[in-house]
Amino acid sequence: MALAKTVEQFSFASPKVSEQIGTPHFYDLLIRDDPRLDETIVAGEHHVGPVQQLLTLSVGGAALYGFAVGLAAQFLQVQGAVGEWLGRFPLLTLPLALTAAFLLALAVCLPSFYFYTQLSGLDASFRLITMQALRIQARTSVLLLGVLPVYAAIVLAAVVGVIAGGQELIVLGILLPFVVGLAGLTSLYKSFERLGQVLPVAHVRRPCFLSRLVMAWGMVYAVVCPVALYRIGEGLASLF
């Protein structure tokens, strides 16, 4: 089978070079968007480990980022519509809402992702599609952790009164994952571009099929995730 040979075909470094630089950590592969991550994605077809790593990074990164933004909202004592949506304890509601919304949106969108991928001409298994979806979320979470120190510095400046801002900064923090997620879509495009050379062909591929595929993934997720985030946050605010 073509997929069974994919790991062998993704050879990006000679053995001598690999011995010199060592094997990069999974976290490092995500930061660099290293092509060798495709090996791990394909290996996830037969092993649980890569799925667990991607899921752990997705959940952990989203929860930590949500906690930081929620803590900022707690200190800034945000009022108005945003404050009502966050509830009395945003440092609890926001990380839970972000994490649950991202995972729920992925679960809801996965059948559509699989359909769009097959329609584009890439004969990828549902498990591989799941791995690619988790790859986007994990990369987004990793990049958010890189943005977090800058965001925290701006929030601290607002807390001590150096700059003005309250509700606007929290709204910015909530919107940042969707902006950073565009980098995840870029990673998805490059990954499918490489995998497209070895995946079986379902049917004749149309021109620009990869850009259409990634656009379809991004559009359906962009519709489902904000709605899920709003509804989950609204429900959590009524509990806390």
The whole-angstrom separation of Cα 206 and Cα 121 is 8
Q: Residue 122: beta bridge partners?
A: 201
How confident is the model at residue 4, as a pLDDT?
Answer: 47
Three-state secondary-structure class, residue 7: helix
203, with CB counted inside 10 A (0-12, 13-18, 19+), is exposed
Q: How confident is the model at residue 28 (pLDDT cuts 50, 70, 90)?
A: confident
How confident is the model at residue 46, as a pLDDT?
Answer: 65
Comparing CA positions, the residue from 194, 38, 51, 209 lying closest to residue 131 is: 51
For residue 17, pLDDT over 60 is answered with no
How confident is the model at residue 13, as a pLDDT?
Answer: 41
- Tokens describing residue 25: 């950590």
11, with CB counted inside 10 A (0-12, 13-18, 19+), is exposed
How confident is the model at residue 80, as a pLDDT?
Answer: 84
Domain that holds residue 192: 3-239
Average pLDDT, the chain: 82
How confident is the model at residue 44, as a pLDDT?
Answer: 63
How confident is the model at residue 2, as a pLDDT?
Answer: 45
How confident is the model at residue 104, as a pLDDT?
Answer: 93
Domain count, the chain: 1
Model pTM score? 0.82
For residue 47, pLDDT over 80 is answered with no
Across the range 178-188, mean pLDDT stands at 87
